[in-house]
Each structure stands twice: as C-alpha cells, then as structure tokens.
Structure 1
Amino acid sequence: MPSILDSVDQRTQLVGENRLELLMFRLQRGSLFALNVFKIQEVQTLPKLTNLPQSHPHIVGVTYARDRTIPVIDLSAAIGMGQLTERENCNIIITEYNRSVQAFLVKSVDRIVNMNWEEIMPPPKGAGRAHYLTAITKYDDQLVEIIDVEKVLQEVSPFNTQVNPEILDSGVISRSTGLEVLAVDDSSVGLAQVRETIKQLGLTLISASDGAMALRMLKQWADEGIDVHRKLTMVITDAEMPEMDGYRLTREIRSDPRLKDLYVILHTSLSGSFNKAMVEKVGCNDFLSKFEPDKLAMAAQQRVREYCDLYSIS
C-alpha cells in the first residue's frame, strides 16, 4: 500500500500544471455531474441510513464511516432536481469540505477523468440548477456539470461570516481605509464570505471569478504602468476555478517580474497535507481553509500591518 507521502506526491504532480481529476456521476435523467477528486475520501454503495430527527429536508439520514457519524445529503434534491426515490444500488460519495465530512447520495458513479482546467468553462447564466454549478465541461461529447458544493452546504448548514469583535484591531482598521484586496473565487458563496470579512476590516474588495480573469486584470494594471505591489495589499484566491486554478494563477504571478512579490493567500475548501505540499510547490504566502472568518481576519490584519510598515502608511 502506498504511503501518505507517495499519495501527496502523486497528487501534487497536477499542481501548477492547471490540471485536475474529476469523479463523474449521475443523479437523475442521465445527466453527468462531477466533483473534484481532491475533496473525495471514498465512494460506497448506499448503506443503511439512520434517521436524523429535525434535520434539513435534504439530509436523508446519517451513516457511520471513518470512525465518525456522517450526514448524507440527497444531492439531487439539493440542486432542485427532486429527491432520489429509487435508492436501490445507489452510491454515496464521502467528501471533506472546509474541515467537515459529509456524504452525497447519487444515483450512480461513472468514472474518474484527468482534465485540464482550460477545458473547464464557467456555467451559463440563468435560472434553474445553473445556480448550483461552478463550471461545465464536455467529456466524450457529453455535457458534464460541476456542482457548487459550497452553495449546497451553505443552504443545508449556513456558514458563519461574522468576525469575533475581540479579534478586530482598531489600529489596523484605521490604516486599512483605501487599501485594496483582490479576491478570486468562482463560487458566489465563497466570494461573499471573503467580502463580508474584508468589509469588517475596512478594506476595499476587487473580485474576479477565475484565475484567468484575475491574471488579465493584474497584467493590464502592470501594462498601464500601475505599481501592482503598491495597489494591492494582497490577493486571496480559491484553488478550484474554471479556465485557470489558484495554483496556476500563483505560478503565473511568480513568473512575472512586475507581479512576483504580490502577497498571495490560498483560500480553499480543500484541506489537509495535500494543500501544504501544494502551497510550497507553487509559492503561496499562506494557506487558509474557507469559512473561518476569524482566521481570515487575523491573516489579513497581519498582512495589513506588514504592508503599511513597508510603505510607511500610518
């Protein structure tokens, strides 16, 4: 059996190369959906579930796996396609997002594919389940829809966005007025959390929905003669994004002399030893798990102190 270090090494071969692995699965009516393999712990045939009284309607029960009790969410119902009523031979996908473990009930699991983020496109704008997608792609000429799990989890169990007042440093906040932060995230929920935290620090937020858009913005500012290091206090970027992920964005920043010293925080729902290895590989300054507003606020305030000292801002 390969060691955890071997596993980390295998996964990090994709980092900075703008590649990802997707687990494809079906819910109802034959449509193909996908999740990033990084966030998946295992796939099981649907076990016997225990009811969870007074739980959210999309939680169909709990199971016991990996030495813990895990809630099981009907993913079809959660994205507006209706409940999976015929559960014989269904699967659950056990995942870890934002340091929490949960399982998603799906009709069937298809396969794992290795793809390039450039093949992953933003979803179409509109009503319906498009609101629950972060991206789309094609495989074997069939549409594959990549689900915004953060939005699903936010609706099942809302995330906290308030910073503990005891953490806020009034001295730092007074120096933050007019300072700008670039936040990069394809999830509206993830971007909203950063916005709420940053707003409580008095910082001004500029946003981009993927790494390619963010890189174009940065290079355009540099082309216009703007000192990007002076303009931006920091860049806070998600890892998974269509067209260009956060790891590749960081690598591109580090390779451009006009941008290379930007302070980059990787802010992602991915967690664990994989990310520590990945951050070191691409050269991020810091790594934070999503939906921990206190930790994001502390990291941002520390960066503001360093930035203000560097540029003699009182």
Structure 2
Amino acid sequence: MSGILASVDQRTKLVGENRLELLMFRLGTRHVFAINVFKVKEVITVPAFNQMPGSHKNLRGVTNYRGSSIPIIDLRQAIKMKPMADNERHDANVIITEYNRTVQGFLIGSVLNIVNTSWSNIQPPPNSIGKANYLTAITQIEIDGKTELVEIIDVEKVLAEIVDYHIEISEDVLDETVVDHLKGKKVLIVDDSATARQQTRDTLSQLGIEIIEEQDGLRALKLLRRWLDEGKDVQNDLLMMITDAEMPEMDGYMLTAEVRADPRMKDLYITLNTSLSGRFNQAMVEKVGCDKFVSKFQPDLLVEVVQERMRELLQ
C-alpha cells in the first residue's frame, strides 16, 4: 500500500505552483474525504495495537511503527461520525501522517487514489455548515466516471482536541528590550484552519500585538492589494505576515510569490508557519522567498521570530 505515495522529490516540485496532491479515502460511508499527500508518510493495513486505559476516546490504541510507538486515531469518531466497528476493519487502512513534528496513524476505510489538482479548485466549506465542522475545504473530483464531492479534513483541529497545545510563553524567551515595542504592532495571519489561527492569535496577543486574520491566500492577497490601492504602506504598517502553506484557492507559496512580485510590498516580512515536516523547511523557504519558517505549533519559536523582526526594525 505504501507504493501509492509519490516520492518526496516529486511532491516538492509542486511547491510554488499552487498545486497539491490529495490522498482520497472513505470512512466506511459513501462520503469521500481527503488529506494533503505532503502530510502522509505511508499507508498501511491495520496493524496490531494495544489499547491504553484512560486515553482519549478517539484513540484506538498505540502501535509500533518503524521502532517508535505512535497513537492510532479513529478518524471517523474524531470527526463526530459513528466509530468504526471491529467487523468493518476488513476494509480498513491506517494513514501514517506527520503533523506539527509528531507522527500518528489515522484509522480509515478504503483508500481510493491520489489526485493532482490546483488549489484554485479547492474551496472553503460553506459558512452555513457552522464552525463545529471538521473541514478546511471541499472540492469536486471525478471518481470512476462520476463527479464526487470531496471533503478535506482539518487534521489540526482533530489533533488539537486530543493533544493539549499550550500557548504559554517561556519567560527566558521574552526579550524586554523589544517586547514593549511590539505593543500595537500589526501582524496578518493567513491560515485556513480556525484552530491554527486561534493558536497563533492567542500566542501573539499576549505581546500586545494587533492580529488581522484571513483564511486563505487569495483573500489575503486581495486585502493587501486593497490596502495598497488606498495608499497604505503595507511593508511598514505590518510587522509581518504569518502564512500557512496549504490553503484553498491560493496556497502560501503562491501568496508569497505574488507579494514578492509587487514592488509596492515586495519587502514585506513573511513567515511560513506550517505543520509540514521539518525536512522540507529550508528548500521551501528558499524556493518561495519567505523570510522565516516556523513549524506548528511552537509558541516560543513564534515569539522569537517576532522579536527578531522587531530587533531588525529597531537597528
């Protein structure tokens, strides 16, 4: 099953092209779900695992994966569907993923295939479904000659409900020589995950920073261009833009490229803040021209980047 995944080198070629690959699967129902292949390490048959007394209700247990113990999460239960019954496991698989520097397995149903598509074909979920949903986006893909609605899961929200992410800033990280200068500074956060935006907002708000939010790259670009057309000096008005990599309509790579191509804001300080594995970090930073990379979710490192930028401006 692991052969279904393309090589890392092939996938990194999508960076900066506003394209992505989706691994599509079912959860034992007619619905089709997907996650970005960039986050997937491997797809395996359901391994043996041990149940852990007192663990979170969405955890099926723990298994040994390549010499390390990793949790197995019942994805169906995690997104508030009926848990997968034991007699359904004959058609089940486990997606091994890496998010926010952690490896975990998601128990799913059948794997369909991988599709290469454009972020411009990916749309945010409609507002009418409410804020409690577990989707970051939706799209339509042809499967077996039929156009299917594909729901892209907000894995960061799923994990945030299992793992406690803290926003406390370590005292030894704070630099008193620059902290006072951060009060009132503006930071634009661009991320399709409401959970990720909240984590970043709650961290930086402790420093007195004013947060402006957009949920995808296209909306952020339109906002920046509107400000420019209104005569605002975006490069000086914003301390920085913190953007996710993977977003509907326009990803963070293309957003960065568009900003760099506009002489009115080409020097805007841009930090890429994603849950992608660290082994892609430097290559992505160099390719798209952002200034810094911070892997989610690390409050201290995020604060250090903000303080470093402030120091540059004070020199």
TM over 0.5: yes
Paired residues of 2:190 and 2:242 also in contact (CA < 8 A): yes
Alignment of 1:272 onto 2:278: yes
Deviation at 1:246, TM superposition (A): 0.4
Aligned length: 304
Counterpart of 1:260 in 2: which secondary structure?
coil
Equivalences for residues 1-314 of structure 1 within 5 A = 7-85=7-85, 86-127=88-129, 131-140=133-142, 141-309=147-315
Cα distance in structure 2, aligned partners of 1:262 and 1:57: 44
Cα distance in structure 1, aligned partners of 2:94 and 2:76: 12
Deviation at 1:158, TM superposition (A): 2.0
* Corresponding residue number in structure 1 for 2:3: none
Paired residues of 1:150 and 1:187 also in contact (CA < 8 A): yes
TM-score, with structure 2 as normaliser:
0.93
Deviation at 1:37, TM superposition (A): 0.3
Deviations 1:222-260 (A, max 9, x none): 111111111111000001100000011001111110111
Which consecutive residues of structure 2, in runs of 5 or more, have no partner in the other structure?
1-5
Cα distance in structure 1, aligned partners of 2:266 and 2:148: 39
Deviations 1:173-221 (A, max 9, x none): 2111221111101101100111011111221111110000000011111
Cα distance in structure 1, aligned partners of 2:257 and 2:8: 19
Cα distance in structure 1, aligned partners of 2:279 and 2:158: 25
Counterpart of 2:104 in 1: which secondary structure?
strand
Deviation at 1:161, TM superposition (A): 1.3
Cα distance in structure 1, aligned partners of 2:130 and 2:18: 29
What is the letter of the counterpart of residue 228 of structure 1? V
Cα distance in structure 2, aligned partners of 1:301 and 1:105: 40
Deviation at 1:95, TM superposition (A): 0.2
Deviation at 1:170, TM superposition (A): 2.7
What is the letter of the counterpart of residue 77 of structure 1? Q
Paired residues of 1:161 and 1:193 also in contact (CA < 8 A): yes
Deviation at 1:127, TM superposition (A): 4.6
Deviation at 1:111, TM superposition (A): 0.3
Deviation at 1:129, TM superposition (A): 8.9
Paired residues of 2:187 and 2:211 also in contact (CA < 8 A): yes
Paired residues of 1:46 and 1:89 also in contact (CA < 8 A): no
**Structure-2 change in CA distance of 1:207 and 1:15 (3 Å):** same
Deviation at 1:165, TM superposition (A): 2.3
Cα distance in structure 2, aligned partners of 1:114 and 1:171: 48
Which consecutive residues of structure 1, in runs of 5 or more, have no partner in the other structure?
1-5, 310-314
What is the letter of the counterpart of residue 266 of structure 1? L
TM-score, with structure 1 as normaliser:
0.93
- CA root-mean-square deviation: 1.5
What is the letter of the counterpart of residue 133 of structure 1? L
Cα distance in structure 1, aligned partners of 2:165 and 2:44: 27
Deviation at 1:7, TM superposition (A): 4.5
The more displaced of 148-157 and 45-54 is 45-54
Deviation at 1:143, TM superposition (A): 0.3
Paired residues of 2:278 and 2:295 also in contact (CA < 8 A): no
Cα distance in structure 1, aligned partners of 2:81 and 2:129: 13
What is the letter of the counterpart of residue 13 of structure 1? K
The more displaced of 82-91 and 19-28 is 82-91
Deviation at 1:12, TM superposition (A): 2.4
**Structure-2 change in CA distance of 1:277 and 1:242 (3 Å):** same
Counterpart of 1:193 in 2: which secondary structure?
helix
Deviation at 1:45, TM superposition (A): 0.8
Deviation at 1:75, TM superposition (A): 0.3
